[in-house]
């Protein structure tokens, strides 16, 4: 039903694969529309989403330059907003999202990876924000998220130079969580996804919401916010079942209730 993405459910984990091989999986409006639709209609029972790109060369080589080439100011803003909104949806989904970065993650590709909760990449991955070399800025929230992930100095270096970095450097600066051989990438991403999927879904969702919401808060407000969310956990069946299972030395079966 989609032309540019594939959706595959593997029990509690759903894999979204961006598949536009002629442009190394560049993001055009149609890809973004399909991603938006897929996020709205994730298969029932999805507890973790893995996002990846088709093939072994590229995760996403950026926004589609041929689509952007002739845009005027309002059109540029509309296109930027479309990508930014889809990425924000990923960031605020009530389930963890893991980017399995299997090659180039440039421009919008790096920005997509950054909107995910976790980034695992293959050894051949390359990350960069080359936009200023095209006369634009990272417009899918790259100027916003990169500094939050790797710090202001390194974010400015990457964005002003436009130079790409290899996987080991991305790991060193904290842009990715792990680097693995290409052949093991999906297995490692699924292994981590399944570890997350085995935990209480409402608790995982609450933890994600707390981490995101408190990041920019002052310490006292953040602690208060977390306390509210912590208290809510005790209204769930999963908390009762999880603690009962621990005390009776059994494995918990969480229902997300």
Annotation marks residue 250 as catalytic: no
Annotation marks residue 184 as catalytic: no
Please report whether residue 124 would count as binding ligand CO8 according to CB under 6 A.
no
Segment contacting ligand CO8 (CB under 6 A): 31-39, 117-125, 133-141, 144-152?
133-141
Identify the active-site residue in 11, 111, 123, 237: 111
Among positions 140-179, residues that touch ligand CO8 (CB under 6 A) are 140
Which structure tokens are listed for 10?
């593997």
Q: Which residue is nearest to ligand CO8 (CB)?
A: 107
Among positions 23-42, residues that touch ligand CO8 (CB under 6 A) are 23-24, 26
Binding-site member from 1, 40, 41, 66 for ligand CO8 (CB under 6 A): 66
Cite the active site residues.
111, 131
> Would you tell me which residues interact with ligand CO8 (CB under 6 A)?
23-24, 26, 61-66, 68, 76, 79-80, 83, 104, 106-108, 130-131, 134, 138-140
């Amino acid at each position: 039903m989609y032309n540019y993405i594939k959706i595959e459910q593997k029990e509690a984990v759903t894999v979204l694969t961006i598949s536009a091989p002629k442009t190394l999986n560049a993001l055009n409006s149609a890809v973004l529309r399909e991603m938006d639709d897929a996020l709205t209609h994730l298969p029932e029972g999805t507890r973790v989403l893995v996002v990846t790109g088709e093939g072994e060369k590229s995760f996403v080589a950026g926004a589609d330059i041929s689509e952007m080439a002739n845009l005027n100011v309002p059109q540029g803003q509309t296109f930027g907003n479309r990508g930014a909104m889809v990425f924000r949806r990923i960031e605020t989904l009530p389930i963890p999202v893991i980017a399995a970065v299997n090659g180039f993650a440039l421009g919008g590709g790096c920005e997509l990876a950054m909107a995910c909760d976790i980034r695992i990449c293959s050894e051949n991955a390359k990350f960069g924000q080359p936009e200023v070399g095209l006369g634009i800025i990272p417009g899918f929230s790259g100027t916003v998220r990169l500094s939050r992930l790797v710090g202001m100095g390194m974010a400015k270096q990457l964005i002003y130079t436009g130079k790409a970095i290899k996987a080991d450097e991305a790991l060193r600066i904290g842009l990715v969580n792990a680097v693995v051989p290409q052949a093991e990438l999906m297995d490692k991403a699924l292994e981590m996804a399944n570890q997350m999927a085995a935990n209480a879904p409402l608790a995982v969702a609450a933890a994600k919401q707390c981490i995101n919401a408190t990041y920019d808060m002052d310490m006292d407000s953040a602690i208060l916010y977390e306390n509210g969310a912590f208290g809510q956990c005790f209204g769930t069946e999963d908390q009762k079942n999880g603690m009962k299972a621990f005390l009776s030395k059994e494995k918990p079966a969480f229902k997300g209730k």
